[in-house]
Amino acid sequence: MTTAPHTEQARGRVAAVGPTPAAAPDDVIRTSGLTKRFQGGQLAVDGLDLTVPRGSVFGFLGPNGSGKTTTIRMLMGLIAPSSGVATVLGAPMPQSVGAVLPRVGALIEGPALYGFLSGRDNLARFDAADPTSDPRTRARRVTEALDRVGLTAAAGKKARAYSLGMKQRLGLASALLQPRELLVLDEPTNGLDPQGMREIRALVREVAAEGTTVFLSSHLLDEIEQVCTHAAVMSKGRLVVQGTVAELAGRAQGRLVVRTPDVAAARDVLVQHRVTDLRTDEARLDGLATAVDEESLPRLCAALVSAGVRVHGFGVERGTLEDAFVALTGEGFDVAG
């Protein structure tokens, strides 16, 4: 993963510059048995045990309706859990909202703005809501936040005239009005074009490099793979798995696929080359490609050919988080009923 060095770098900087990094608890978010049952009896989140380490870019993954947003709302003290405990930055939520949330920036379920105010005035309004923010530095911080998300040119425009992408950026800007320890981003690239998505991902990496832990929910698997160091997968209100992205993707390792009518002969060659977990079909066989790298791959192909195997197709199909998800849940990545 390309993002791993960022995290290491971030940790290093925290240790070097921060006054008391050792005193801070290592987990930014920790929940145990977190459960939310809504009044209608619907179980939205069911016994969630989630651990988000400090300095990580944590991907919170699951189909629409799997309980991600409800979890985030509980973490942010907007709704009270039916049972279980949620701890954010070492303090229980929602009891410690006043002490914890000034250190947290959040984008929850899309941006929400005052349409009759300019982008700049919207940020000033949200900043005024935080009693720990200094009114004397407000104008400067608002300008910096606008600049950071690339909205300087549109700062004076009424928010109702913004496109969805611009609204999303303004929402991000309000999360970045202060230096934050934790950034919670719920589907931050929703409604953005590919260029906008790339910019948001770059911003997430930049913020993470400064030492901010990022908790990013998404239903886009490749988004998580691209920016996250850690991930958790939700399905129907339950946590399916959590760990580093490398671990999770590793669960769905790439498989070597050979298409040939000579299955038996091919099988012998593959076994000699230490390809394990072989599965054979009528004109196809595949196996775990752990021992196969880019150099040995052509040799393996040559070996098959020289053994008289008529190779119709040959290649490695890469494992993805999606494979891992399907393997873990035994279902597709669709909207949960």
Partner 1 sequence: MSQAEVSPAEVSRTEVSRTEASAAVGAGPRRQTAAGFAALFRSELWLTFRRTRTIALLGILAVLPVLIGVVVRIETGDSSNGGGPAFIAQVSQNGLFLVFTALALALPIFLPMTVGVVAGDSIAGEAATGTLRYLLVAPAGRTRLLAAKFTAGLVFCLAATMAVVVAAVATGAALFPLGEVTLLSGDTIGLGAAVVRAVLVAGVVALSLSGLVAIGLFISTLTGSGIAAMATTVGLVITVQILDTFPQLHAIQPFLFTHQWLSFGDLLRQPMHWDNVLQNLGLQALYVAVFGSAAWARFTSRDITA
User: Where on the chain is the footprint of partner 1 (CB under 8 A)?
Assistant: 13-14, 17-21, 24, 73, 76-80, 97-99, 101-104, 106, 108-110, 112-117, 121, 124-136, 148, 171, 174, 178-182, 206, 210-213
CB of 281 to partner 1, least distance (A): 49
**For partner 1, which is the closer residue by CB, 96 or 253?**
96
The token pair that represents 153 in the structure block: 């040119």
Beta carbons of 200 and 191 less than 8 angstroms apart = no
**For partner 1, which is the closer residue by CB, 111 or 254?**
111
**For partner 1, which is the closer residue by CB, 105 or 287?**
105
Beta carbons of 121 and 173 less than 8 angstroms apart = no
What residues have CB less than 8 Å from 89, skipping those under 6 apart? Answer: 25, 28, 100, 103, 104, 181, 182
Buried b (16+ CB within 10 A) or exposed e, 263-276: beebbebbeeeebe
CB of 53 to partner 1, least distance (A): 13
**For partner 1, which is the closer residue by CB, 157 or 251?**
157
CB of 141 to partner 1, least distance (A): 10
What residues have CB less than 8 Å from 247, skipping those under 6 apart? Answer: none
CB of 127 to partner 1, least distance (A): 8
What residues have CB less than 8 Å from 206, skipping those under 6 apart? Answer: none
Rounded to whole angstroms, the Cα distance separating 62 from 236 reads: 9
CB of 18 to partner 1, least distance (A): 5
CB of 26 to partner 1, least distance (A): 13
**For partner 1, which is the closer residue by CB, 102 or 250?**
102
| Burial bucket for residue 308 (CB in 10 Å: 0-12, 13-18, 19+) | exposed
**For partner 1, which is the closer residue by CB, 117 or 307?**
117
**For partner 1, which is the closer residue by CB, 213 or 260?**
213
Of 1, 55, 5, 47, nearest to 27 (Cα)?
A: 55
Of 196, 152, 157, 188, nearest to 172 (Cα)?
A: 188
CB of 176 to partner 1, least distance (A): 10
